[in-house]
Structure formats: C-alpha cells, structure tokens
C-alpha cells in the first residue's frame, strides 16, 4: 500500500448534490431509531412522530411564507414537479406552457400533456413579452424554473406573475372561467434566493432537500390551493390524500432544518459565491482567455457556472479532470446518461458542438479560491 496520501478531490459539482450539513444531520438523528413509529398509527409513539412531521411542515411553510396545509412533502424535486404538472393538468384541463430550459423532471411530464415551449434569449432569459404572445384562453398552467441547474440564470418570476394577474383580470372581464397558474421548480434556489411564494408570485413551487445541504429523498410541493391537484400516488391517503406513502420522518426533519439553515446563511453564502465567481472568471481570463460563460445574464446565482471550452469534448474533459482529482459536470448530472446535447444549452442558441464542449462548475460552502485555481490549472493541462 502506498504511504503517499492523495490530495482530497476538488469537488465542484454541488448543483448535482451537496453533503448533509452537520447541524442537519444532528437534527435528523433521533428519528432513525428513537422516534420511529408510523406517523399514521394510533399509539402514543405515533403521536410523537406525527407531531414531528407537522412541526416540520410549519417550519417549511414559514420559509415559503405559506400555510402548513399548502405544503405536500414528496421524495424530492422530481416527484414534486410530476405532481405539479400531471396533478394540476388532470384537475384543471386546458393547455400547458413550460420554458425551454426546464429540468427533465418538468419537460418529461410536459411531453405527456398538451404543451408548448417558451423560448429564452441568448442570455438564457425568458422574455415576458414573448410569453404573453403564447398565452391563450386554454392555457391553464405555466411552469418556469427559478434558478437554472445548468446555467445559474434566474428567471423573472415576479414579472411573469404580474403578466398572469393581468391575464386573469382580462379573463374575468370576458367571462372566461379557466384559471391560470404559475408553477416554478425552485430546487436550486434557497441557497442564494428568497423563496417566499407571495414575492415570487408562484401558485405552485418545487423544493428539494438534497441541493441545500439536506438529505436525499425529501422535498415538497407548495400549492396555494390543494384543490387544484389530483393525486399521482394512491394509497393510504397521507398528505391530504395528495401523496400517499408513510412519511419519511428523518428526511422531512432534515429538509426543514436545511431550509432554515439556507435562509440563515443566505447573505454570507451569496457574498462568498459571488467572490468565488469573480475569481474564477478573472483566473480564466488570465489563463484560458478563449473560455466563455454560456448564458451571460446579469440575473444569476453565482455558484452555478456553465463554461464553453472551444474545441473540447465536455465528457472527455470531465473524465480527464476527474483523473486529476477535479470533479465537475458536463450539463446536468441527472441527464448525464443521455448522448443528446443539453436542451438547455441549445435553447440559448448554442450549436450541438458548442453544447458538447461545455462544463458545468458549481461551488459549495467548502469551496476555496485555491480549488478554483487548481481547476483552471488542470483545465490548461488536459485541453
């Protein structure tokens, strides 16, 4: 066995998964083997588990500025997105609009429904005027991601919600009965952005614990009026009958703790991530001047950066960097199995070759300037 210790890998793939924060882990600990009864049972132990879930629901609701009954716990963002789209469209009928830069867990359910795509500009931003032209009297749901998991671009949800209010007023005036709702996949948002539903203007919103230093296997769908949804998971009738299945108490507690921690740490993390972003861009400009940022919107979460490395094969770069102990992604890790270029990048107008020459770098709380310098140096070696 070699006695020479390898340096720890530089992990720059936090948008795919974060570690669980120690404080979150401590909060979860009692619920594995001390308080383990089924929250739906009738015993005293079950009562303790049920109160724990309801306390977590109140805490999650508070972070969203919602009422507890508006929170439906799910296994994560994929399930929440499926429930939002399939559940609302089954109940409301009509037509669906989704942005061209959604995560697959929105796009794939949309493909099973009547839908159209809302384009984005070369900066990765949805333009509200273009959306306006796509809304018809049959449109009942619009789904727009908040912070992009591939580019970090933040979509103008409040502005979109303003347009939706206008459309609703116009429909009432003309006696058109169909509702129009806004859903947003905000799985990547809580670390850097406020997620109060009334400020964003969302009627439905997806959150996930595993992107915010919480456990995998937990998340929620916020829904302003649960009567808009029909269940997609049938069984014991948990979660207002909208999501049957025994509640995973430790994960739910961990999710609530992670969301509170995200809000508490948001200002300092924003500052740290912004400084890291600026350092990365300056370092690249000095050492790899032809590398450029895809979707160069000013409205962005600084910890998720999509880089075009001209002439490179992104997948080969990821593997070569991995061998040097630098862990990055091509597009989104969840779609990494597919051969097709990222639909998010081609939606910005990148060619297939450019999209395939892209790396995604995402920072976390443990990332240092030195980590970024090691990445830039290694990139120079492997190109």
Q: What are phi and psi of 230, to 5 degrees?
A: -115, 140
- In the sheet with 304-308, reading across from the earlier edge strand, the strands are 292-293, 304-308, 358-362
CB of 99 to ligand PMP, least distance (A): 12
78 near ligand PMP, rule: CB under 6 A: yes
Contact pick of 306, 332, 342, 367 for ligand PMP (by CB under 6 A): 332
> Judged by CB, which is closer to ligand PMP: 306, or 332?
332
Q: Which residue is it, tokens 């200002």?
A: 267
| Residue indicated by tokens 């009958």 | 241
Among residues 334, 346, 349, 377, which one is catalytic? 334
- Applying CB under 6 A, does 152 fall inside the site for ligand PMP? no
Q: Which residues contact 371 (CB under 8 A, 6 or more apart)?
A: 10, 12
Q: How far is the CB of 165 from ligand PMP (least distance, A)?
A: 25
Ranges within 82-141 binding ligand PMP (CB under 6 A): 103, 105
- Give the count of alpha carbons within 13 A of 113, CB side only: 30
* x-or-dash string of contact with ligand PMP, 185-204, rule CB under 6 A: x-xx----------------
Distance CA 182, CA 171 (A): 16
**Stretch of 48-56, 72-80, 307-315, 356-364 lying at the interface with ligand PMP (CB under 6 A):** 72-80
**Residue 59 interacts with ligand PMP (CB under 6 A)?**
no
Residue 101, CA distances (Å) to 86, 145, 168 in order: 19, 7, 25
**With respect to ligand PMP, which residue has the nearer C-beta, 102 or 247?**
102
DSSP letter for each residue of 18-51: -PPPHHHHHHHTHHHHTS-S-TTSSSHHHHHHHH
**Contact between 184 and ligand PMP per CB under 6 A:** no
Residue of 179, 192, 143 lying closest to 18 (CA atoms)? 192
Half-sphere exposure of 7 toward its Cβ, with a 13 Å CA cutoff?
12
Sheet of strand 181-185: strand arrangement:
71-74, 219-223, 204-208, 181-185, 139-143, 95-99, 115-118
Q: In this chain, which stretch among 123-131, 133-141, 182-190, 372-380 interacts with ligand PMP, using CB under 6 A?
A: 182-190
Q: Which stretch binds ligand PMP (CB under 6 A): 39-47, 58-66, 180-188, 370-378?
A: 180-188
Q: How far apart are CA 304 and CA 15, in angstroms?
A: 7
Residue closer to ligand PMP (CB basis): 213 or 379: 213
Residue 13 contacts ligand PMP per CB under 6 A: no
- For 297, the 3-state DSSP assignment is coil
334 catalytic, yes or no? yes
Q: Which of 334, 346, 377, 382 binds ligand PMP (CB under 6 A)?
A: 334
Least distance to ligand PMP, CB of residue 184, Å: 10
Token reading at 266: 């948001």
Residue 363: Cβ-neighbour burial (10 angstroms; 0-12, 13-18, 19+): buried
Count interface residues toward ligand PMP (CB under 6 A). 14
Nearer to ligand PMP, 151 or 238 (CB): 151
Q: Determine, following the binding rule CB under 6 A, whether residue 77 of this chain makes contact with ligand PMP.
A: yes
Question: Which window, 62-70, 75-83, 114-122, 342-350, contacts ligand PMP (CB under 6 A)?
Answer: 75-83
Q: Smallest gap, in angstroms, from Cβ of residue 143 to ligand PMP?
A: 11
Burial 299-322, CB ≥16 within 10 A → b, else e: ebbbbbbbbbbeebebeebbebbe
Query: What are the residues facing 10 on neighbouring strands?
Result: 326
Selected from 82, 140, 149, 193, the binder of ligand PMP by CB under 6 A is 149
Q: Which three-class secondary structure state does DSSP give residue 162?
A: helix
Q: Which of 143, 184, 193, 210 binds ligand PMP (CB under 6 A)?
A: 210
Stretch that binds ligand PMP, among 184-192, 271-279, 299-307, 353-361 (CB under 6 A): 184-192
Where on the chain is the footprint of ligand PMP (CB under 6 A)? 76-78, 103, 105, 145, 149, 185, 187-188, 208, 210, 332, 334
Catalytic site residues? 334
């Amino acid at each position: 066995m070699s006695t020479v210790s390898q340096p720890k890998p530089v992990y720059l793939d936090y948008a795919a998964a974060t570690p669980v924060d120690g404080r979150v882990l401590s909060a979860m600990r009692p619920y594995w083997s001390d308080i383990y009864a089924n929250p739906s049972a009738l015993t005293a132990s079950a009562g303790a588990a049920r109160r724990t879930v309801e306390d977590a629901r109140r805490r999650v609701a508070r972070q969203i500025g919602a009422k507890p009954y508006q929170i439906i716990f799910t296994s994560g963002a994929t399930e929440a997105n499926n429930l939002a789209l399939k559940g609302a469209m089954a109940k409301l009928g009509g037509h669906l609009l989704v942005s061209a830069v959604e995560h697959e867990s929105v796009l794939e359910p949309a493909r099973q429904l009547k839908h159209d795509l809302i384009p984005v500009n070369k900066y990765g931003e949805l333009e509200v005027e273009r959306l306006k032209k796509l809304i018809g009297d049959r449109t009942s749901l619009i789904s727009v991601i908040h912070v992009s998991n591939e580019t970090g671009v933040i979509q103008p949800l409040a502005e979109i919600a303003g347009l939706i209010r206008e459309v609703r007023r116009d429909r009432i005036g003309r006696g058109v009965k169909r509702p129009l709702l806004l859903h947003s996949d905000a799985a990547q948002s809580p670390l850097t952005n406020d997620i109060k539903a009334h400020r964003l203007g969302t009627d439905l919103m997806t959150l996930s614990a595993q992107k915010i230093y919480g456990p995998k296997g937990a998340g929620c769908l916020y829904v302003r009026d649960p009567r808009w949804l029909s269940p997609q998971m049938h069984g014991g009738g948990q979660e207002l009958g909208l999501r049957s299945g025994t509640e995973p108490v430790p994960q739910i507690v961990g999710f609530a703790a992670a969301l509170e921690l995200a809000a508490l740490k948001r200002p300092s993390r924003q500052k740290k991530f912004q400084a890291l972003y600026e350092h990365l861009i300056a370092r690249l400009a000095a050492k790899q001047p032809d590398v450029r940022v895809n979707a160069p919107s000013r409205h962005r979460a600084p910890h998720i950066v999509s880089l075009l490395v001209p002439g490179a094969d992104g997948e080969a770069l990821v593997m070569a960097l991995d061998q040097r102990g630098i862990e990055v992604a091509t597009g989104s890790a969840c779609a990494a199995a597919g051969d097709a270029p990222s639909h998010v990048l081609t939606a910005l107008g990148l060619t297939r070759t450019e999209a395939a020459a892209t790396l995604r770098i995402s920072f976390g709380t443990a990332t240092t300037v030195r980590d970024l310098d090691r990445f830039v140096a290694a990139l120079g070696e492997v190109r």
